[in-house]
Amino acid sequence: MPIDPDSLPSGAARVAGVMGWPVHHSRSPRLHGYWLRELRIDGVYIPLPVHPDRLGPALRALVDLGFAGCNLTIPHKEAAVSYMDELSDTADRLGAVNTVIVRDSRLYGDNSDGFGFTAHLEATAPAWPADRPAVVLGAGGAARAICIALIDRGVPAVRIANRTFEKAEVLRHAFGERIQPVPWNTRDQVLADAGLLVNSTSLGMTGQNPLEINLKRFPADGVVYDIVYAPLQTDLLKQAAAHGCRTVDGLGMLLHQARPPFAAWFGVEPTVTDALRAAIVQDLAG
């Protein structure tokens, strides 16, 4: 088979990757690999299976091995904070790092999950009603990033309904008065005057329990965002569309959160296109 040398990394290629344990499920190599090829960049992005016991040495090795940086996925996002030489304001507030950038032999930790959430929301449902309260289901790692993103966007209140109420209270203590914990069993009622509903629980995901919620009270000009992306069209999004709401699926958040790290490592701003989306949808189905 003839090989196009321009499609292969050279000895000067920039190198990045994703650290996780396990890491084989990660779509990030496909995603970044797509952009590297599309933009004809001399770079590689590889999976880095790193056991939690080896996280510190593995992160420090990025400097010695000349890496541009890496993404972090489960279970490393929180543990990595203590190994960074410097943190972005967002990573500091979140207490979690999903992006490491090697700068002047130092590790800079950032977090682009909230950026991905907002960028996809603005792109899919422009002029969404940000002047009304938002309702967020869940209080896990993803919900933390979403809460910060919504507060920074100026949403007047973020009502958090979580099965474990105390975890929603932790978010209020961390992020302030605009975070309003509400009991899980009031999730239908608190929708009444909201502008945005976000599912950030794992409910509705393939293999998980269904998400039980009734959107009857939710204003039809509101937006429903499900960050679960397997399946792409969740039962929540189907119910929202039938109710007349604009809907936002979880795949775009995954794609958009990859933009800032790619730009930092490889020096080019990538774009989330329909073709990229189709490629990742095909990969998820395979």
Q: What residue ranges bind ligand NAP (CB under 6 A)?
A: 116, 138-143, 162-164, 167, 200-203, 205, 209, 227-229, 250, 253-254, 257
Active site residue 77: yes
Task: Tell me the torsion sign for CA atoms 25, 119, 285, 17.
Answer: negative
Residue nearest to ligand NAP (CB): 140
**Between 143 and 272, CB nearer to ligand NAP:** 143
**Between 78 and 193, CB nearer to ligand NAP:** 78
Q: Cβ of residue 228: shortest distance to ligand NAP, in angstroms?
A: 5
Q: Cβ of residue 156: shortest distance to ligand NAP, in angstroms?
A: 23
Rounded Cα distance, 139 and 165, in Å: 9
**Between 135 and 203, CB nearer to ligand NAP:** 203
User: For the chain, how big is the Rg over CA atoms in Å?
Assistant: 20
**Between 71 and 200, CB nearer to ligand NAP:** 200
Q: Cβ of residue 70: shortest distance to ligand NAP, in angstroms?
A: 17
For residue 156, give every residue at least 6 positions away whose Cβ sits within 8 Å of its Cβ, in sequence order, or none. Answer: 131, 132, 133, 178
**Which of 158, 161, 212 is closest to 182 using CA atoms?**
161
Asked if 67 and 15 touch (Cβ cutoff 8 Å), the reply is: yes
**Which of 250, 246, 268 is closest to 259 using CA atoms?**
268
Q: Cβ of residue 280: shortest distance to ligand NAP, in angstroms?
A: 11
Q: Which residues are catalytic?
A: 77
